[in-house]
């Protein structure tokens, strides 16, 4: 099996006899090695939360960015290769501005997600390149006020979710989201569920090692929560919190 | 070329917001020499609409009236039955003003753009988005000698825009473009009322074209009337402008 597989996993554009693209599957493995990010959508808006725990106490935690603002009304969470994520985030930012230049309107979240996944797909069908080793959760509020949450994967398939987790421990986190998800929760409830879900991955959370970004329906704008704002949300949760 | 390239085609993965998605812009780099010759081509002995085109907004919808004459420089009538208002969107129309070739190509391109937008996003373009796109094309694209009226209805209501050859996009309650514009404006001025019915606005638009047809050598030979509501577009042609007026 090993020899057989190796013949088909070198060229990006070569199918294995059973119809698989090994490079795309390896890219998904790269995502699983990343720390998790969680996204959830309710009637009140969309929430993204990410674990940015540092590998060393010497790292400035604020320099580990996993949530990115793309436009006034769209933000992105990433899991996997950070450098790859930055390229896709930059692509999404330019596409969002291109829509404003062309139509003088903010881009809707679905169109933006599909622009990004179409771009990702091109990197599965060309020789001499590798696929993007990153998954994105694209969260935003459409110009008509509808909250949306999309996920991209290395094959370039877009998928819309009510709530999802990307990165390591995805199955555990999804199970927690499935139990706790409520579509009519307010934004605070959505933040609580996202933080609880992140806590499922094991390590204790504190306000400095998680990032939280919201896009609420009322304002339609991206808001990045600072640690002082995250603190009370964590205190309300029945989870293990890092007190130091 | 941006930093983002399609690895399969080698093309730029970001679009040009000023260029149509389909149909290459022939000017390429947009160098001054080619632009100048193109402008000269549209300015030469080609069919012009001369024209009076009127768009009026009401609460119920918009009405557009256009004359039916094509001329060579306003001195010779080259066609007496031109339809100068065309549907470009499920609930929007565009008038053909200026070079006939440029205006027809502009209409075809806007239709393709509006269709692609709608089929991809599962909702029609707003009239403002369509006007912005038309302005971008007029400014950066191969269409120079055009000056259309764009009129339509969307979820925000009724809208009329004028698009000038340099890409200027102006929204108004009523607007007129073409060689008979001063005569048509004179008819509408003082008569327009924001609360007027669609039927009254239609009569006003027809009378404006009628006045221009009487005195402007570039306008005449009847009237086409388009009415646009949230339900769609209806376009009718009349060889005699009087036939387009509601019976009194």
- Give yes or no for residue B45 having a pLDDT over 80: no
| Domain assignment of residue A242, yes or no | no
- Give yes or no for residue B32 having a pLDDT over 50: no
Local confidence band at B74 (pLDDT 50, 70, 90 cut-offs): confident
Select, from the ranges B6-20, B58-72, B128-142, the one with the highest average predicted confidence (pLDDT).
B58-72
**Per-residue confidence (pLDDT) for residue A237, from 0 to 100:** 84
**Cβ pair B236, B244 in contact under 8 A:** yes
Total tally of structural domains belonging to chain A: 1
pLDDT in tens, B190-219: 999 999 999 999 999 999 999 999 999 999
Contacts of A60 (CB under 8 A, 6+ apart): none
| Domain assignment of residue A243, yes or no | no
Contact status of A94 with chain B (Cβ, < 8 Å)? yes
- Give yes or no for residue B49 having a pLDDT over 80: no
Smallest CA-to-CA distance from B114 within B88, B95, B153, B132 is with: B88
Q: pLDDT averaged over consecutive 10-residue blocks of chain A (244 residues)?
A: 59 82 93 94 97 85 90 97 96 97 97 98 90 97 97 97 96 96 96 95 86 97 95 82 54
**A34: domain CATH number?**
3.60.20.10
CA atoms within 13 A on the CB side of B38: 18
Chain A positions in Cβ-Cβ contact with residue B18 (cut-off 8 Å): 101-102
**Per-residue confidence (pLDDT) for residue A215, from 0 to 100:** 98
**Per-residue confidence (pLDDT) for residue B29, from 0 to 100:** 40
| Domain assignment of residue A110, yes or no | yes
Chain B positions in Cβ-Cβ contact with residue A123 (cut-off 8 Å): 7
Select, from the ranges B4-8, B34-38, B42-46, the one with the highest average predicted confidence (pLDDT).
B4-8
CA B2 to CA B228: how far, in whole Å?
A: 40
CA B5 to CA B11: how far, in whole Å?
A: 6
Instruction: Please tell me which residue of chain B has the smallest CA distance to A144.
Output: B155
CA B155 to CA B158: how far, in whole Å?
A: 9
Superfamily for domain range B45-244: Aminohydrolase, N-terminal nucleophile (Ntn) domain (3.60.20.10)
What sign does the dihedral A181-A184-A188-A190 (CA atoms) show? positive
pLDDT in tens, B80-104: 999 999 999 999 999 999 888 889 9
Nearest CB partner across the interface for A98, out of B3, B17, B128: B17
Local confidence band at B157 (pLDDT 50, 70, 90 cut-offs): very high
Burial of B11 per CB tally in 10 Å (0-12, 13-18, 19+): exposed
Contacts of B83 (CB under 8 A, 6+ apart): B66, B68, B224, B235, B237
Annotated catalytic residue: which of B49, B51, B52, B53?
Answer: B51
| Domain assignment of residue A39, yes or no | yes
String of DSSP letters for A144-210: TS-EEEEEE-TT--EEE-SEEEESTTHHHHHHHHHHH--TT--HHHHHHHHHHHHHTTSSPB-TTTE
Whether residue B39 lies in the annotated active site: no
Contact (CB<8Å) B121/A98: no
| Domain assignment of residue A240, yes or no | no
Nearest CB partner across the interface for A101, out of B4, B17, B121: B17
Chain B positions in Cβ-Cβ contact with residue A108 (cut-off 8 Å): 121
- Region for residue B132 given its phi and psi (left: phi exceeds 0; alpha: psi -120 to 50; beta: otherwise): alpha
| Domain assignment of residue A238, yes or no | no
ipTM: 0.87
- Give yes or no for residue B36 having a pLDDT over 90: no
Domain boundaries, chain B: 45-244
Angle at B152 between CA B150 and CA B158, to 5 degrees: 120
- Give yes or no for residue B31 having a pLDDT over 50: no
| Domain assignment of residue A101, yes or no | yes
Nearest CB partner across the interface for A122, out of B7, B125, B132: B7
| Domain assignment of residue A241, yes or no | no
Nearest CB partner across the interface for B132, out of A104, A111, A125: A104
Smallest CA-to-CA distance from B90 within B115, B109, B68, B107 is with: B115
What residues of chain B have any CB closer than 8 angstroms to a CB in chain A?
2-4, 6-8, 13-15, 17-18, 120-121, 125-126, 128-129, 132-133, 136
**Per-residue confidence (pLDDT) for residue B44, from 0 to 100:** 60
Provide the domain limits for residue A182: 2-233
């Amino acid at each position: 099996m090993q020899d057989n597989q190796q013949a088909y996993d070198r060229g990006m554009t070569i199918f294995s006899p059973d119809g698989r693209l090994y490079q795309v599957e390896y890219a998904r493995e790269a995502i699983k090695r990343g720390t998790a990010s969680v996204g959830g959508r309710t009637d009140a808006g969309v929430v993204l939360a990410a674990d940015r725990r540092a590998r060393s106490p010497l790292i400035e935690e604020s320099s580990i960015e996993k949530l990115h603002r793309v436009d006034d009304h769209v933000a992105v969470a990433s899991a996997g290769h950070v450098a790859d994520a930055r390229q896709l985030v930059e692509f999404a930012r330019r596409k969002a501005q291109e829509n404003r230049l062309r139509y003088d309107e903010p881009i809707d979240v679905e169109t933006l997600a599909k622009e990004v996944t179409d771009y990702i797909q091109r990197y599965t069908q060309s020789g001499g390149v590798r696929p993007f080793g990153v998954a994105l959760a694209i969260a935003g509020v459409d110009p008509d006020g509808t909250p949306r949450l999309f996920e991209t994967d290395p094959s370039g398939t877009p998928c819309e979710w009510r709530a999802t987790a990307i990165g390591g421990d995805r199955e555990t986190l999804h199970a927690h989201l499935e139990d706790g998800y409520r579509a009519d929760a307010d934004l605070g409830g959505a933040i609580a569920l996202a933080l609880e879900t992140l806590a499922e991955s094991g390590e204790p959370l504190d306000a400095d090692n998680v990032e939280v970004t919201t896009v609420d329906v009322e304002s339609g704008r991206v808001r990045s929560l600072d640690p002082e704002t995250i603190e009370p949300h964590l205190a309300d949760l029945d989870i293990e919190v890092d007190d130091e | 070329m941006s930093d983002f390239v399609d690895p399969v085609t080698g093309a730029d993965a970001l679009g040009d917001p000023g260029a149509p998605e389909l149909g290459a812009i022939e000017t390429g780099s947009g160098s001054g020499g080619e632009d100048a010759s193109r402008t000269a081509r549209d300015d030469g002995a080609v069919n012009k609409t001369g024209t009076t085109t009127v768009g009026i907004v009401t609460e119920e919808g918009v009405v557009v009236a256009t004359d039916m004459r094509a001329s060579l420089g306003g001195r010779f009538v080259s066609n007496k039955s031109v339809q100068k208002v065309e549907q470009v969107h499920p609930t929007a129309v565009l008038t053909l003003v200026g070079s006939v070739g440029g205006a027809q190509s502009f209409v075809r391109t806007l239709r393709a753009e509006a269709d692609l937008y709608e089929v991809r996003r599962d909702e029609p373009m707003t009239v403002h988005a369509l006007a912005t796109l038309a302005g971008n094309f007029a400014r950066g694209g191969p269409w120079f000698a055009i000056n259309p009226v764009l009129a339509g209805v969307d979820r925000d209501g009724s809208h009329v825009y004028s698009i000038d050859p340099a890409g200027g996009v102006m929204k108004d309650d009523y607007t007129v473009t073409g060689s008979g514009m001063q005569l048509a404006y004179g008819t509408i001025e003082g008569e327009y009322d924001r609360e007027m019915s669609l039927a009254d606005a239609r009569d006003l638009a027809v009378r404006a074209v009628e006045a221009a047809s009487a005195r402007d050598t570039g306008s005449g030979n009847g009237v086409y009337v388009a009415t646009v509501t949230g339900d769609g577009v209806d376009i009718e042609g009349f060889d005699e402008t009087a036939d387009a007026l509601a019976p009194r």
